[in-house]
Structure 1
Amino acid sequence: MRGALVWVGLIMVSLVAGCTAGPDPSGSTPTPTPTASSSPSPSSPGLTPTPSSPPSPSPSQSPTPSPTRAPAEVSARRMMADVERLAGDIGPREATSKAFYEAADLVERRFRELGFRTRRTEVKVPAGDSWGTPVRAGTSANVIADSPGLDPARDHVVIGAHLDTVARAPGAEDNASGIAVLLELARLAGLEPPDVPVRFVAFGAEEPRGDGDALHHFGSQQLVADLSAAERRAIRGMVSLDRVGVPAERVPVCRAGDRGADLQDQLLAAARSAKIRTRACEDRASDHWSYQKAGIPAARLGKIAYAGYHSPDDVPSVVDQDQLARAARIVWAWLGRS
């Protein structure tokens, strides 16, 4: 009887041993298979999501979209307001007059507000005849505004417009129109800096005080004469904005000589890209001529004939804001920002 009990005990031990999980002979740990209703859990390292069922990111993991700024656009309204301010409120701005310096202060303040580094250079002018009005000798000024970081001995471009008028003209078209476009381009460049640095210049004493080249373009002639050889070589192109507001079907794009041919072609191509009609021409009667004579590629936008030229009738109503916008868009496209 005792032997039978021992035998039964041995059988029970074998059965219990067979029902207890032991190490797999292959040495691997069996992996449970999840059911269709199971979902992966970060605390279960053995459950890796399959590529066809990626986990959804939590709201905190979603990327935050970056806000995009609308491209800077030319504002005809702003430019027309500047024409009104210069020609309507200030009026005639003979190069050595109190009114000229009032305009110079306004322009320099605007450049500074837009983030440009500014300076002035004095321009000595002789006595003479301002389109029929005797004028005394005196001092005018160039207002210069440089893009932040501009090195005048390294590649850059110059965009200019003359600030003065003949003695008897309010100068809406000649040349508040050019200054208005100059300030608008500076505003755009402050918002979207072009790849090439820009020097903006409001020239003093562009208007003649007698016949001949020596009695014309005093501000630009002096500014160019003061440039070093390295600074002259660094100017990739100079564009003068002079009488750019008279309504017309086309915008004149003028060169002063062969050296300006490539720049003229660039401006004409920029106009085509902006879908603006132009007219190629040759002209030396603006500040681009001072740069051209020094061997610097230069061109002029503007020069449409109008009845009020150099007269008291050159008032803001002469100027067309759509034509202002066309001139600005051509230069903006030339700067590569259209």
Structure 2
Amino acid sequence: MNKKYLITGAAGFIGYYLSKKLLEKGETVIGIDNINDYYDVNLKHARLGILKKYENFKFTREDISNKEKILEIFKVEKPNIVVNLAAQAGVRYSIENPDVYIKSNVEGFFNVLEACRYYPVEHLIYASSSSVYGNNKKVPFEESDSVDNPVSLYAATKKSNELMAYTYSHLYKIPATGLRFFTVYGPMGRPDMAYFGFTDKYFNNEEIHIYNNGDFENDLYRDFTYVDDIVEGIEKLIDKGPNKDNLHRVFNIGNNNPEKLMTFILTLEKCLSKSLNKDIEFKKIYEPIKAGDVPKTYASTDKLQLEIGFKPKTSIEEGLQKFTDWYVKYYRKL
């Protein structure tokens, strides 16, 4: 029997890809998104336009911070599985606009938990973040590491999500799984992410700012994870179902193969050159590391691999080529 999925943040990057994959399998998806203007809403509408072509997709434009409305949607739709991907994203933006993070990431997630309490679900999967590891020096980051020292409000809200989910899982027997995402990228991705912004700046004839002091030896490392690999991991977790003996669990979901920021940028240049069929080079300005940025994010994915056989397959060369091919076509740059 087909399941009914409720996905918050369905017009977002990961939410769109997960919704599309489930819809292709014939599942019913209830999508919720507030279509906020944190980044270009046209991209959100483009993603939604693709999802709305599926008969088994139902969309409600709503903010998860509206408790009354969220409870009503759960009451009417009675979803089997909930995937909470709605959140105010971005580390640096949380320094400038803290209020929206509390409203969406704390209040909004609380409302989703309350809805799961009153209208029980088979499994709640929710987005956490690699940012919860703060300035941990030990790498790779493991789920058993201390995450008591977040260095941004965004990270603090994600850590609070894990605590709230644990409590609700314990009190109300809600099977819940948190996923700590590590730098997800790909076509139709978030324009606020560095790789997308670098590509924008090239076409605007602007310099790109690289926050690594121009220190190639001690460069920032990131665990770049292609979106299809992330979706496959979520799918496998859904198929496996929750653990009856351990109702709340948290997993890293990343690439387990960190790349230097400069390697990523030079690969992006090569891929864009190929998409445009000409050699290009970004104009680069090197600056000090930004407040709140973590020098190295690198996931141990042993726990998830043991659980579902999760093993990302997409190299940065392959993933970035797909991104630049999409970008050039979508923005008609040829």
TM-score of the two chains, using structure 1 as the length reference: 0.26
Structure number with larger C-alpha Rg: 1
Higher helix share: 2
TM-score of the two chains, using structure 2 as the length reference: 0.27
